Amino acid sequence: MATYDSKHVKNIALLGHAGSGKTTLAECMLFEAGITKRRGSIAAGNTVSDYHELETERQSSVFSSLLHTPWKDYKINIIDTPGYDDFAGEVISALRVADAGVMVLNAAMGVEVGTDIIWEYTNSYKTPTIFVVNQLDHTGADFDRTLADARSHFGANVVAVQYPVQTGAGFNAIVDVLNMVMYKFGPDGGKPEKMAIPDEEKAKADQLHKELIETIASNDENLMEKYFDKGELTEEEMKAGLHASMIVHDIFPLFCASAEKDMGVGRIMSFIDYVCPAAYEMPAQKTKAGKELPCDVNGPPCIFIFKTIIEPHIGELSLFKVYSGSIKAGMELVNENTGVTEKINQLFLLEGHNRLPVQELVAGDIGATIKLRSTHVNNTLHEKGVNLELEAIVFPHPNVTVSISSVNKGDEEKLSNALHTLREEDASMHFEVSPEIKQTLVHCQGELHLKVLQWKIEHIHKLDVKFDKPKIPYRETISRRAESNYRHKKQSGGAGQFAEVYMRIEPWYEGMPNPEGLNLRHKEEIDLDWGGKLVFCNCIVGGAIDTRFLPSILKGVMEKMQNGPLTGSYARDIRVSVYDGKMHDVDSNDISFKIAGLHAFRQAFIEADPQLLEPIYTVEVFCPDEMVGAVMGDLQTRMGVVEGMQAEGHFEKITAKVPLAQMHQYSSSLRSLTQGRARFNMYFDSYAPVAFEVQRKLMEAYSKHEVLQD
């Protein structure tokens, strides 16, 4: 492939709701450019970008895929992204390195929920965006409704550059109101015949041409003056105006296509080449130090890793964008995040699963390399002697958590290795081994995301696993003051064990006064790792217990705090005051006072009206107005308390506080309830007392478990 300079490389991400035709559009672009000899199809399972076995099986995109194609004097790097919100991490990483987004709309469906969600991501990155109304040849296609829908959702600056003469089975002609011509296609699509606009279409074409000029001129004072003076703008002036406005995320041109029939795609590619911005024209990248890094081929070599693919028998394939300088095969770069020097042994361009070796990539280009030792997604690599760390991709907060375990004993280490590999490939997935609930937890974006992870574990890593509802990390506390004492005495021939501890425990709250009726000598406030506090007070008078034994009493208390008396959950927000006791000159030691402290605390805890607390989460549901009632009703059945509702764009945002125990499989339920037209976020809020009946059942279950363990 020819070498392209920074000014002739364009990076685009294909975006849109699942089923809008992104992969088919990518396939058509490669065919139009002559990269492929025939166009693959989703049904046949032979597209270039959906090459993974899972994608072929599902007949939809699951992973983002990097492609490239020459077009005229330019090279276009294409990232084909999945359309389901469960795979938002793939979309966000693509937008991090793309310099323009191509938002594909299904002409029969208009703006779908996935489009709205992805639009939020493009807005956060201020990605220059064009719209493509696709599938105009399908029954039910409605261009005017889709255009109106797009303007309603994304603003009046969604402006038509083209419109179809007719839609449905007879779709074969597009009127272009930028250059005021009509493109007519043959039955097999491809290169169209360029024709004058028919008389019956002139009025509509003139009206849309005028709207296009006015939208462009309204964003540029110089063009506005020219428009007022001449009543018209030249095609070159319009392109320049569109180019400038797209860079600042102000105008969003809209095109027509049938990717399946190869109609209108070449014109879109030419617009990408000549009008969409290149990387060097976009705002300079920000470093974590607050400095700017211009996209300059003469700058210090610097790349950013945005995706990792692990290929069997090969290892890690690291996808990166060159943000500065030029990168050559054999070059050594320093990983700013790990401090490791990495050698770039090979450079590749990607065409789906095919790798094409190249010797050099310049600022603004996207490529891949293999076998970097200590490099991961979000790492910055640069030449020696400089310090550069680019801002990281921020992946969405997981909304689904399950426990995972291997079916076969002895596979635990293999499962751990598999999860590490999955995390390396997919930074929107997290896993943890929870010592509190003694489960391995997987956190992901949704039920579909979870199914993909399961497929990978079972088909690639060859492990049988099962998913379960995760245990709830309850907390224990007390609701009133109680006192107790415990004597530990043990004699076994030689030196014995003796300790006696008198203790008061109380519910702790910020700003509470000193222990009533006790002589406070010392207070220690401990911020617990699991939240809340333990306040330990020394109120010993007259040396009844030597000060050196108090840390041992505290150890005993802490041991029981980590394994609460009610359900074995962590305890929190308790003040412990040790005010009396006894010791023996010979038999008292640290272990004796630790045991006495543990039992005294346990006895007092049981007598202090113990209370089980459950985690409460703030749940934000975004749904269409007509579905608000159903969503609120469902939240209430989950013991949720709705706290408010407000409009956000074209959605209503419902905010509620819901117990975590009621949120299992909520992702699937919400998808079913709203036909996939709603989404949600959830964040930990606080702990709150559980209902008495729930506490009783949990205590009974724990008591039976303890008996079985014994």
Amino acid at 370: I
Q: Which of 352, 382, 412 is the last residue of a domain?
A: 382
The pLDDT value given to residue 230: 86
- Residue 644 belongs to a domain: yes
Judge if 175 and 127 occupy the same domain. Answer: yes
What does the alpha-carbon distance between residue 210 and residue 482 come to, in Å, rounded to a whole number? 81
Judge if 191 and 301 occupy the same domain. Answer: no
Q: Show the DSSP H helices in 155-220 as ranges.
A: 199-217
3-state SS, 36-101, equals CCCCCCCCCCCCCCCCCHHHHHHCCCCCCEEEEEEECCEEEEEEECCCCHHHHHHHHHHHHHCCEE
CATH of the domain at 554: 3.30.230.10
Residue 119, C-beta contacts closer than 8 angstroms, at least 6 positions apart: 103, 153, 154
What are the pLDDT digits (tens) for 569-600?
999 999 999 999 999 988 889 999 999 999 99
Judge if 274 and 203 occupy the same domain. Answer: yes
CATH of the domain at 243: 3.40.50.300
**In the predicted model, what is the mean pLDDT of the chain?**
93
Instruction: Provide the CA 228 distance to its chain's centre, in angstroms.
Output: 47
DSSP-assigned letter for residue 179? T
- Residue 704 belongs to a domain: no
Residue 707, C-beta contacts closer than 8 angstroms, at least 6 positions apart: none
Judge if 305 and 271 occupy the same domain. Answer: no
- Residue 494 belongs to a domain: yes
Range 659-680 average pLDDT: 90
Judge if 300 and 251 occupy the same domain. Answer: no
Judge if 137 and 230 occupy the same domain. Answer: yes
The pLDDT value given to residue 590: 94
CATH of the domain at 682: 3.30.70.240
More confident residue, 679 or 475: 475
- Residue 456 belongs to a domain: yes
**What confidence category does residue 1 fall into, taking pLDDT thresholds of 50, 70 and 90?**
low
- Residue 343 belongs to a domain: yes
Judge if 26 and 117 occupy the same domain. Answer: yes
What are the pLDDT digits (tens) for 341-368?
999 999 999 998 899 999 999 999 999 9
Give the residue among 368, 364, 393, 389 at the shortest CA–CA distance from 378: 393
Range 112-128 average pLDDT: 92
The helix/strand/coil state of 553 is helix
Judge if 641 and 569 occupy the same domain. Answer: no
CB of 172 within 8 A of CB of 263? yes
What are the pLDDT digits (tens) for 467-504?
999 999 999 999 999 999 999 998 776 678 999 999 99
Judge if 128 and 264 occupy the same domain. Answer: yes
Domain containing residue 315? 288-382
Q: Which of 232, 252, 281 is the last residue of a domain?
A: 281
Domain count for the chain: 5
- Residue 329 belongs to a domain: yes
- Residue 53 burial (C-beta neighbours within 10 Å; 0-12, 13-18, 19+): exposed
What does the alpha-carbon distance between residue 355 and residue 368 come to, in Å, rounded to a whole number? 9
Poorest-pLDDT segment among 223-232, 249-258, 355-364, 524-533: 223-232
Range 201-209 average pLDDT: 96
Range 251-269 average pLDDT: 97
Whether pLDDT at 313 is above 90: no
Two tokens, residue 155: 């603003």
Neighbours of 709 (CB within 10 A): 6
What does the alpha-carbon distance between residue 401 and residue 225 come to, in Å, rounded to a whole number? 58
Q: How many separate helices (H) and strands (E) can be counted in the chain?
A: 16, 38
CATH of the domain at 365: 2.40.30.10
pTM of the predicted structure, to 2 decimals: 0.89
The pLDDT value given to residue 315: 79
Give φ, ψ of 202 to 5 degrees. Answer: -65, -40
**Enclosing H/E stretch for 694:** helix 692-709
> Any bridge partners for residue 369, and if so which?
318
What are the pLDDT digits (tens) for 151-181?
999 999 999 999 999 999 999 999 999 999 9
650-655, Cβ contacts within 8 angstroms, sequence gap of 24 or more: 650/116, 650/152, 650/153, 650/624, 651/116, 651/622, 651/623, 651/624, 651/678, 652/622, 652/623, 652/624, 652/625, 652/628, 653/620, 653/621, 653/622, 654/620, 654/621, 654/623, 654/628, 655/618, 655/619, 655/620
Whether pLDDT at 628 is above 60: yes
Neighbours of 493 (CB within 10 A): 5
Give the residue among 484, 507, 693, 696 at the shortest CA–CA distance from 596: 484
Range 675-698 average pLDDT: 92
**What confidence category does residue 706 fall into, taking pLDDT thresholds of 50, 70 and 90?**
low
Whether pLDDT at 49 is above 70: yes
The pLDDT value given to residue 427: 93
Judge if 501 and 374 occupy the same domain. Answer: no
The pLDDT value given to residue 493: 64
**What confidence category does residue 708 fall into, taking pLDDT thresholds of 50, 70 and 90?**
very low
Judge if 408 and 304 occupy the same domain. Answer: no
Judge if 434 and 560 occupy the same domain. Answer: no
Residue 159, C-beta contacts closer than 8 angstroms, at least 6 positions apart: 211, 212, 215, 216, 251, 252, 253, 254
Q: Among the ranges 38-52, 94-108, 284-298, which has the highest mean pLDDT value?
A: 94-108
Whether pLDDT at 509 is above 80: yes
Regarding beta strands 347-351 and 430-434, do their DSSP bridges make them parallel or antiparallel, or are they unpaired?
A: unpaired
Whether pLDDT at 710 is above 70: no
**Enclosing H/E stretch for 319:** strand 315-324
Neighbours of 446 (CB within 10 A): 23
CATH of the domain at 437: 3.30.70.870
The pLDDT value given to residue 80: 97
- Residue 706 belongs to a domain: no
CB of 19 within 8 A of CB of 83? yes
Q: Which of 608, 640, 660 is the last residue of a domain?
A: 608
**Enclosing H/E stretch for 17:** none
- Residue 299 belongs to a domain: yes
